Structure formats: structure tokens, C-alpha cells
A and B are shown apart, each in its own frame.
Chain A
Amino acid sequence: MSNLLAIFLGMALVNNMVLVKFLGLCPFFGVSKKLSSAFSMGIAVLLVMLVASGVTWPVYHLLLAPYGVEFMRTVIFILVIASLVQIIEMAIKRTNLTLYNAFGIYLPLITTNCAVLGITFINIDQTYSFLESLTAALGAGAGFTLVLIIMSGIRERLGLADPPKAFKGTPIAFITAMLLGLSFLAFNGMV
């Protein structure tokens, strides 16, 4: 149990997807302008990470590893994740339109997100068990959502600030991200 907790915290804070591993940077800057959309995006990524880890683990350990085709994992994982997200999007769109309006519109963005692909590779590289993989995905998703929410909160306030003209918009967002990354460095070596 304590092992799972360590994996969760490690993925969420110490090895944060965005600020430490530098994965999923496009949504980090693209969807972090408004708090509400950042939250929706974060939750959508979390769910896709969970499902992707849950599917790619058996695919790797039951299909790829026994036949010695581990080197094809990138291609196969992309294929599996992309078709999976397609099915999820279809299911949400046809059963719950309200949910689709809230989260579904972000799903196509996530299909080939590097953070989602990244967590599946980390699971394999760390030789996690199935349960550990799911915990790692949950932690990574939670860390991603956390950073996205912090960033969007700062950016909403940045809109009121008065930086020099040359720094307005994206440059000041990059500087903010740098400071945020520095502060997450403090978690280093915790787990």
C-alpha cells in the first residue's frame, strides 16, 4: 500500500509530467488561459491516461513481450491509444451530450498527446505491475491537472498585471512556467 502511495506522489509531484519530464507542454500553454477549461482538460487527460495504461499494459505483457516485438511498442501504443480515444469519444457523444460538451471536445486533442504516451512508456520502463501502472497513471494525471490549474490561475491574474509590452502574453507565460518549474524542483528526492 505504501508502495502505491509512493508511486502516486512520485508521479504527481516529484516526477511531474509537465514541469519535470516536460511532456504535454502544448496543452500546458494552449489550454491554460481559463481556469474552467484547464480543469476540464486536466480531468480528460487523467481519464485517458488511466484507460490507456489499463489497455497498453496487457498488450505489452501478453502480446509484445512473449513474441519479442518490444521494439514496435511506439507504433502499437499509438495505434491502440488512438483507437481507444476514438471509441470513448463516440460513446460519450452518443450517450451524454452534456458531458460531451464539457469534456468531449478535448478528447481529439489528447489522442496523440505525448503525456499520455509517456505514462505508458514509463509504466513499462519501470516494470510496474498492472495495479502500479494504474496508480502511476492516476498520479501523473493528477499532477498534470494540478499544474494546469495552478498555471491557469496565475495566468488569469497575469491578465490584470501590467508587464512591459515586449513581455505581454506568451513570453510572460514562459517566465511564469520557469518559476513554477523551479518551485517544483523542491519536491526532488522526496520519494
Chain B
Amino acid sequence: MMQTTITIILLSLIGFIAGLLIFLASKFLPKEDESLGETVRIKEFLPGADCGACGHPGCFAYAQAVTKDKQVFAKTPCPTLAQDKEGMKKLETYLGLKSEAKIGKKAVVHCTGQSETLADYRGIETCKAASQLASGFKECPYACLGLGDCVAVCPTGAISINPERKVAVVDWETCIGCGLCVEACSQGLTELVPANMPQYLGCNYQAARDIPGRKRCPDGCIHCKICVKVSQNGEVTWDETKDLPHFDPEKCLPAHAAIEKCPRQIIKKTATYKEPSAISISAVSKSKPLR
């Protein structure tokens, strides 16, 4: 009987002390940071993809930065949320300010996948591993290997591998321009361009870094520079270091004439390409449809 009483008393005593300690801790510790609740509320508006496109390590860190200084949102709005106009509006009204209308970025892949396969690759199924062996198993040392390193890192599933030509294709509808694929591509083929860029080059063959015995595919740039010659407004310039045409991301001018004249037809139109008015160049209408 004595034993039971002692046990009960001791147990309730310890329970009481533990409860008291928690009570004292919650009462006398400094109050929870006011900003924490606010941060959680702001995070509700964010997409939660933790892609890091805003430059902060994840959505929570971005919400913290916005809580501290609302101007962070005005200057660098969440690039993922910027794709979703309604969600953007909700956060804007919540914060009571307008973000600077920024043109988002989108990824392009500078390859059309026409290069022949040189060797049968059997190894670790990543581009990074395959590219270690003689710049990949394609005839062109700059070709997309199609093993999908970019697909694996894409937070929105915007990149897919074309099953016929084994080349990565970006869907601009779902691409949020986070740039993770740019880091993932071992061949350096993906690039971020402004969302209003009307065209990109479907090749990355650099004559300056020619590798003996390897050659460009039938879709490869032959460095004829005709695209530069036919562009009147300077929409196409020549990138001397890469030895490839360059489209100024600041201007984003449509290069109708260059698209038409390119002998290899590798200046590809993007989703934001607009056909020129009928008077300026009627020949464009005859151009091949984009693959």
C-alpha cells in the first residue's frame, strides 16, 4: 500500500513539475517573433516549389525576406508566381503594392537532336556521366544526349525528351525560368532567355572549339553569317567567342529575314514569335513550319 501511494505521488509530482516548466517556458521566454506568423501567411501565397529562382534558398526564405522588407517583392517578384496572374494579384493586394512588371525568363535548348549516334552507350544513365566519355556518344560533341538530367531537376515537369530524336524539349507554358536545367546540362545547351524572345538558335556547334573527327549534324550551324547580313535592325549579331549568331536579350527583336534565309533552317521560332505584317516580308508565310 505504501509503495503504491509513493508511486502515485511521485508520478504526479514529476508530471506536475514538467507541466509547470513548460508553462513557465512559454510565459517567460521572449515572445514568438511577430514576423513568423506573417511569414507563414505570405508563404501561403507562394507556389511552394522551392525552386530558388528568386535567389533565396526556398519559398520560406523568400517569404522571410518579403516580411522583413516588402520592397523585395516589388523588386524581385517570385518568378514562378509571376506566371500565374491571379495568384500574383492576390499577393499584391495582400501586401498592398504592385510589383514591377518583369518579363520572366524561359529556357531554350540549343539542339535539334539531328546528330547521329556514334556508339552504343551503356553506363550510368545520366548526361553528366555520358558526357565524360569523349564529349558524349553523339557524332556532334555539342549534341543533346537525351538522358534527361534536365528533366530530373525541372520542378514543374516542363522539360521532356522527344522519344524519336532523343532531345530535350521545353514547354514554355509550364517553364518558370528557374534556371536549374542550365546548371544541370553537362553539354551547356540550355539557356535562359527573356519570355518575349521571338527566336533561338537550335544549334550549339562551335567551330572555334572544333574536335577532329567529330562533325556537326545536317541541322548544324555552318557559320555562314547570312543571318547577320540580312538583319537590318541589328536583331542578329555575331558572337565571336562562340562563332554563332546571337540574339540580343535586351532588345528581343524578331529576326524574320534571318529565320527565312538560314540555309540550315535552325533559327527556331519560340512560343512568343509573331508573324510579321504581310507587307514587310511576304516570303515568311512560305517558310517551313516549326518542328
Contact = CB atoms under 8 A, between A and B. Distances in A.
Contacts of A101: 60
B21 A76 contact: no
A170 interface: no
Interface stretch (A18-26, A27-35, A86-94, A114-122): A86-94
B36 A69 contact: no
Interface string B119-150: 00000111001000000000000000000000
Given A67-B6, A68-B3, A76 B22 contact: no
Interface string A80-98: 1001101100110111010
A62 to B, nearest CB: 11
Contacts of A124: none
Contacts of B3: 68-69
Looking at A63, A94, A160, the one whose CB has the most chain B CB atoms below 10 A away is A94
A10 B32 CA distance: 41
A72 B7 contact: yes
Interface residues of A, number: 25
A69 B22 contact: no
Given A69-B10, A83-B18, A94 B124 contact: no
Main secondary structure, interface of B, reads: helix
Interface size class of B (residues with CB under 8 A): 20 to 34
Nearest to B61: A101
B125 A79 contact: no
Contact of A160 (B6, B22, B124): B124
A87 B25 contact: yes
B209 interface: no
A79 B21 contact: no
A111 B64 CA distance: 27
Contact of B33 (A63, A79, A87, A94): A94
B103 to A, nearest CB: 32
A56 to B, nearest CB: 11
Interface string A98-142: 000100000000000000000000000000000000000000000
Contact of A83 (B19, B31, B124, B129): B19
Contacts of A190: none
A186 interface: no
Contact of A90 (B6, B7, B25, B129): B25
Given A67-B6, A87-B21, A101-B60, A94 B32 contact: yes
A156 to B, nearest CB: 13
Contacts of A80: 14, 18
A93 B32 contact: yes
Contacts of B19: 83
Interface string B17-60: 01101100110011111001000000000000000000000001
Given A79-B18, A80-B14, A87-B21, A69 B6 contact: yes
A90 B36 contact: no
Nearest to A81: B18
B226 interface: no
A154 interface: no
Contacts of A97: 33, 36, 64
B26 to A, nearest CB: 6
Interface of A: 59, 63-64, 67-69, 72, 75-76, 79-80, 83-84, 86-87, 90-91, 93-95, 97, 101, 160-162
